[in-house]
Amino acid sequence: MINHHSLKQDVPEKMDDHAPDEDREHALPEAMLDLMSMDNDFTPRAHCLVRWFGLRSFVVIVPAAPAEAVITESKCNLLLSSISIALGNTGCQVPVFVQVQQKWRRMYVGQCEGPGVRTDFEMVHLRKAPAHYGHLSGLLDVFKSKIACPLSSVPPVNVCVRFTYVLQDCQQYQWPQPPPDMDACVASEVGGLEIGKLPFGACEDPVSDLHLAATWPHLTEDIIVDNDVYSDLDPLQAPQWSVRVRMADNPQCLLCDFLHEFHGLCHRKESTDQLLGKSLFEQDSGEVGDIGQVLQRLTEPVPLHLPLLPTVSSMVHEARQRIPRKHRSDGVPVTPVMLASIFKFMFSDANGMMETNPGVNEAATSCPDQETGNMHRNLKSAPVDSLTHRLALCLCMINYCHGGLKGVAQVWQEFVQRLRGYWESNIVIPWLNPGPPEFSCCLLHQKFQMLNCCIERRRNREELQNQHQLVKETGGRQRRDRHSAGPSEDASGFRSWESWSEDSEDEFYECESELSGDEGGEQSLKVVNSDGDDPSNEKSKRAEGRFQQHSSLILLSSGAPLYIPITQESAPMTEDLLDEQTEVLAKLGTSAEGAHLRARMQSACLLSDMEAFKAANPGCLLDDFVRWYSPRDYTEAVDGNGHGELSARMRIPGNMWAEAWESCKPIPARRQKRLFDDTREAERVLHFLAGLKPAEVAQHLLPCLIHAALLKVEEESSDDVPTVKRLLQQTISLASRVLRQPNSDPGRLADVLQQLGLAETVIARGRSLRAKFAVQSLDKDKEKEEVERFVTSLLEQPEVPVIGAGRGPAGSILRGLFINSQQNSAYTPGDDVALIQGNSASLPSGFPAPRGREFVLRTLVPRPAPYSCSVPQRMFCVLLKDQFTLAGAFSSDTSFY
């Protein structure tokens, strides 16, 4: 007894309330009306009790743990009688069920009490249908004997029948997308995968099977025959057809796989050096514990040949020079040919695109509509088609099919080398928007832009210097040599390149020192040549570094026209540099001294401008400078003639402006100390890039990849269902929320990837279904439209009725599918054939045997005595291959018996 109670206490209760809206002014409890209602027949997605008994509201008592299952009959009876008492005491009209036997058998018994009427729910569950119950007539016999109707003329039993046919695999349709062939990638053609494109779609059919239900919703027992020798139940004649599709649980989808693999990279710890082997000498010393070597042994040896490649610029030559060298000692996963095609795609310099500033042309093409154009801002990725975007796509592909982490490390290393090549040969890197780093893009993109800024600055600077012909003979020749070495491909250029690359570091510093030496020399040269006398004597100085004459201003002291000087451009910054600088400035605190120091630290630009101004306007005053630089700080004289005056703040004694003005010398911009040291900054960028671990590279590029994936899904979803559109919108907004935070939460990133995968799967399903129903090949527009709609609803609803059943357009396609598959499997008789033994007599030709048969038998008869009220009786029968279930609800009049 105590045991019983405890059991009852820890059972969870579950309410399943489907349509609680109907009015309850009936004599019979709702549950009993439900028994007879045909509305709930074959609800597609519900608790099995709903399907079996048509109930919309009930209570189930299930054992809390499998060990506590109600196995014995006495315990079961005990529970039932407790329920009976409970229902009687409370007047509750909701049926209550107990799950008995092992959980998997899904056996329930239950009871429902109403005013003067009681329904008992009972079940039979067998592995195999007894032969004589394998069809309708046998089942009717069971039903009638169970009711044991006392009347002589029993009213006919209502019958509802549903046969389910399963189309398991549509072998006749070869799934069009085989997984990418990795072996083919060794060849110059990348097997099936185009560089720079993300793959898309499922590798296997995402629709695993198709269930067709043929339903006869309303029959009476006397109008149909279904026995062991003959059956009227021909599915082609069934008045209702409906289809549900069962999707493969986790179809392998390429895009999703790609992304996940790449995302996986982000958690790797290995550095590039570890992966590729430190350098040549280390390889020679034969260090055994080196991870790179272990990996190397694991990877298959790559065919060794020195590739002969088409026209690529000298940097590529240089890089190629390295590849074979490495190949001799080190089995790198990415072949030279592969590498070359990747870099061709990334830099596309083989097409001579390099010198035509592709950044501009990209800006025009990549933003066709506002939304797509701005997407990179929202995701903090990089513009579509930019170098960064291309890099992300390539690395993702390399990771997936060309050596994984190690391949990524290799390509990244080569990539950085190539950037260095651009820098060293003074050639602008293609596929980047010109101008300072854009903070709306990912850091890596900013770094690339920064490098380009450095290159551009240096080019301008050197051009300027060449123009002025102030470069010393020796230094100039050397530099010019270097210039010509870049773009040209002649033998001497190439050789000089090789010598550069041997020892590039040293060369750099030498170059820098040579430059600064130049400047020093230049300056002294200048002083001697042009001034001859005391350089501090401003009056005698020749004007230098003029940009243009100011439209209106004249110098206050001399009345000469005021010239706007050439000034140095301010230093571009990437966001990490800016953050660093902000940090430094903020650290100074808010005190007056702090503020003063801060201003001083930022005064370089002001000072430089003042120097340039002085050089361009010999004999000028601070007033002149202010009138040009900060016009609001000077009030012109009212009478137009005499002098105006500086603003009060400019007249504060010892203020920074005045102080700076006093201290600065007239020096034209080109001879000033550079505000932006392009050499140093470029080295910093390259050092930063070279020091990144593959995992960090992957992290930096992930936004670009997600961006690309979103665009891919968008592109692929053009013909698809609203679900996908909605999903895509959700994914985009989720992605922008996640990616715009400085440190994206990895869990939420995974959510984004998952959603992308989901969208891909849904699209793949739609394609699969569309292929199955051969939507494209339909001739008539109307039919096409109808089938299209049908396919769409299959994706969005659990079960979809077929309009016109077997005779409509979708129906006839379905019929064809089934007949085909039946013919295909005819030679290898499967288990399905055995299933229909009970009912094999009169199958319509071509249609397979039903996988499952369901019958609902219903009637209203007086029970238990002839004079009792007519009360609902119902029996639900399921006949499957290995399951035979009868679920009966038998009511009896409790007042008159």
What residues from 740 to 759 belong to the interface with other proteins (CB under 8 A)?
A: 740-742, 751, 755, 758
Q: Which is nearer to other proteins, 117 or 878 (CB)?
A: 878
- Euclidean distance between CA atoms 507 and 166, whole angstroms: 74
Give the integer Cα–Cα distance in Å for 214 and 459: 77
Binding to other proteins in span 769-798, by CB under 8 A: 796, 798
Residue 282 in contact with residue 290, Cβ under 8 Å?
yes
Give me the least distance between CB of 741 and other proteins, in Å please: 5
- Binding of other proteins at residue 823 (CB under 8 A)? no
Q: Of the two residues 492 and 647, which places its CB atom closer to other proteins in the complex?
A: 647
Identify which of residues 44 and 115 has a Cβ nearer to other proteins in the complex. 44
* Residues 280/329, Cβ–Cβ less than 8 Å: yes
Q: Least distance (Å) from other proteins to the CB of residue 53?
A: 12
Name the segment binding other proteins (CB under 8 A); options: 41-49, 134-142, 509-517, 772-780.
41-49
CB of 609 to other proteins, least distance (A): 7
Instruction: Using CB under 8 A, pick the residue from 90, 356, 582, 837 that binds other proteins.
Output: 582
**Residue 656 interacts with other proteins (CB under 8 A)?**
yes
Q: HSE on the CB side for 107, CA within 13 Å?
A: 18
Nearer Cβ to other proteins (47/317): 47
Residue 268 φ then ψ, to 5°: -80, 150
User: Of the listed pieces 38-46, 365-373, 500-508, 535-543, which binds other proteins according to CB under 8 A?
Assistant: 38-46
657 binds other proteins (CB under 8 A): yes
602 forms part of the interface with other proteins (CB under 8 A):
yes
Cβ-based nearer residue to other proteins, 577 or 861:
577
Q: Are 610 and 667 in contact (CB under 8 A)?
A: no
| Residue span binding other proteins (CB under 8 A) among the ranges 39-47, 62-70, 139-147, 148-156 | 39-47
Distance of alpha carbon 383 from alpha carbon 387, whole angstroms: 9
> Left, alpha or beta for 231 (phi > 0: left; psi -120 to 50: alpha)?
beta
Q: Which x/- pattern over 793-812 shows residues binding other proteins (rule: CB under 8 A)?
A: ---x-x--------------
Name the residue nearer to other proteins (CB basis): 126 or 586.
Answer: 586
Among 655, 663, 837, 842, binds other proteins (CB under 8 A): 655
Residues 6+ apart with CB under 8 A from 176: 771
Residues 411-440 that bind other proteins (CB under 8 A): 436, 439
Question: How do strand 96-100 and strand 59-61 relate by DSSP bridges?
Answer: parallel
103 binds other proteins, rule: CB under 8 A: no
| Residue 831 is a binding residue for other proteins (CB under 8 A) | no
Q: Note whether 868 and 882 are within 8 A (CB).
A: no
Q: Is 372 in the site for other proteins (CB under 8 A)?
A: no
Nearest C-alpha neighbor of 670 from the set 530, 563, 547, 508: 547
In whole angstroms, how close is the CB of 464 to other proteins at the nearest point? 20
Contact string 675-704 vs other proteins (x = CB under 8 A): ------------------------------
Residue range at the interface with other proteins (CB under 8 A); choices 47-55, 327-335, 402-410, 662-670: 47-55
Binders of other proteins among residues 486 to 545 (CB under 8 A) are: none
Query: Position 894: which residue type?
Result: T
831 by Cβ neighbours in 10 Å (0-12 / 13-18 / 19+) ranks as exposed
By CB under 8 A, is residue 570 in contact with other proteins? yes
Please tell me whether residue 45 binds other proteins under the rule CB under 8 A: yes
Q: Where in 841-880 is the site for other proteins (CB under 8 A)?
A: 852, 854, 878
- Tell which residue, 309, 359, 299, has the closest CA to residue 334: 299
Site string for other proteins, 375-414 (x = CB under 8 A): ---x------------------------------------
Is residue 447 a contact point for other proteins (CB under 8 A)? no
Find the length of the chain. 897
Per CB under 8 A, the segment of 113-121, 191-199, 595-603, 836-844 that binds other proteins is 595-603
CB of 327 or CB of 380, closer to other proteins? 380
Q: Which of 365, 647, 663, 837 binds other proteins (CB under 8 A)?
A: 647
The residues, any chain, with a CB within 8 Å of residue 108's CB and separated by 6 or more, are 49, 60, 97, 98, 99, 100, 121, 123, 887
Residues within window 321-360 making contact with other proteins, judged by CB under 8 A: none
To other proteins, the closest distance from the beta carbon of 854 in angstroms equals 7
Establish if 762 lies at the interface with other proteins (CB under 8 A): yes
648 is an interface residue for other proteins by CB under 8 A: yes
Name the residue nearer to other proteins (CB basis): 580 or 785: 580
- Decide: is 247 part of the binding site for other proteins (CB under 8 A): yes
Q: State the nearest-atom distance from the C-beta of 307 to other proteins, in Å.
A: 44
Amino acid at position 323, single letter:
I
Distances (CA, A) of 527 to 473, 530, 603: 18, 6, 26
Distances (CA, A) of 29 to 40, 122, 246: 16, 18, 36
Query: Judged by CB under 8 A, does residue 460 bind other proteins?
Result: no
Number of Cα atoms under 13 Å in the Cβ half of residue 560:
12
Rounded to whole angstroms, the Cα distance separating 895 from 307 reads 98
Query: How near is the Cβ of 657 to other proteins at its closest, in Å?
Result: 6
Q: Using CA atoms in the order 628, 634, 637, 642, what is the torsion angle rounded to 10 degrees?
A: -60
Give the number of C-alpha atoms closer than 13 A to the C-alpha of residue 646, restricted to the C-beta side.
19
For position 590 contacting other proteins by CB under 8 A, the verdict is yes
Given a contact cutoff of 8 angstroms between Cβ atoms, the answer to whether 699 and 408 are in contact is: no
Distance of alpha carbon 786 from alpha carbon 808, whole angstroms: 9
Check residue 642 and give left, alpha or beta (phi > 0: left; psi -120 to 50: alpha): beta
Task: Pick the binder of other proteins from 488, 630, 825, 894 (CB under 8 A).
Answer: 630
Calpha distance 666→102 (Å, rounded): 97
The Cα–Cα gap between 528 and 520 comes to 12
Residues that contact other proteins, how many (by CB under 8 A): 71
How many other β-carbons are positioned within 10 Å of the β-carbon of residue 698? 26
Cα gap 761→738, rounded to integer Å:
22
Quick check: 276 and 409 in contact, CB under 8 A?
yes
Residue 246 interacts with other proteins (CB under 8 A): yes or no: yes
Say which amino acid occupies 348: S
SS3 state at 826:
coil
Work out which of 15, 48, 294, 528 binds other proteins, going by CB under 8 A: 48
The least CB distance from residue 864 to other proteins, in Å, is 30
Among 129, 340, 405, 727, binds other proteins (CB under 8 A): 727
110 vs 277 by CB, closer to other proteins: 110
Sole binder of other proteins in the list 131, 294, 586, 637 (CB under 8 A): 586
202: β partners? 253
Query: Could you tell me which residues are beta bridge partners of residue 212?
Result: 165, 243
Among 124, 203, 556, 585, binds other proteins (CB under 8 A): 585
Q: Count the Cβ atoms, other than its own, within 10 Å of residue 386.
A: 26
CA angle centred on 887, ends 73 and 853, rounded to 5°: 135
**Applying CB under 8 A, does 881 fall inside the site for other proteins?**
no
Stretch that binds other proteins, among 226-234, 285-293, 305-313, 642-650 (CB under 8 A): 642-650
Minimum separation from the CB atom of position 104 to other proteins (A): 9
Q: Cis ω on the peptide bond leading into residue 864 (within 30° of 0)?
A: yes
In SS3 terms, 228-244 reads as CCCECCCHHHCCEEEEE
For residue 114, the minimal CB distance to other proteins (Å) is 27
Residue 632 as a binder of other proteins (CB under 8 A): the answer is yes
Looking at residues 206 to 225 of the shown chain, list those that interact with other proteins (rule: CB under 8 A): 211
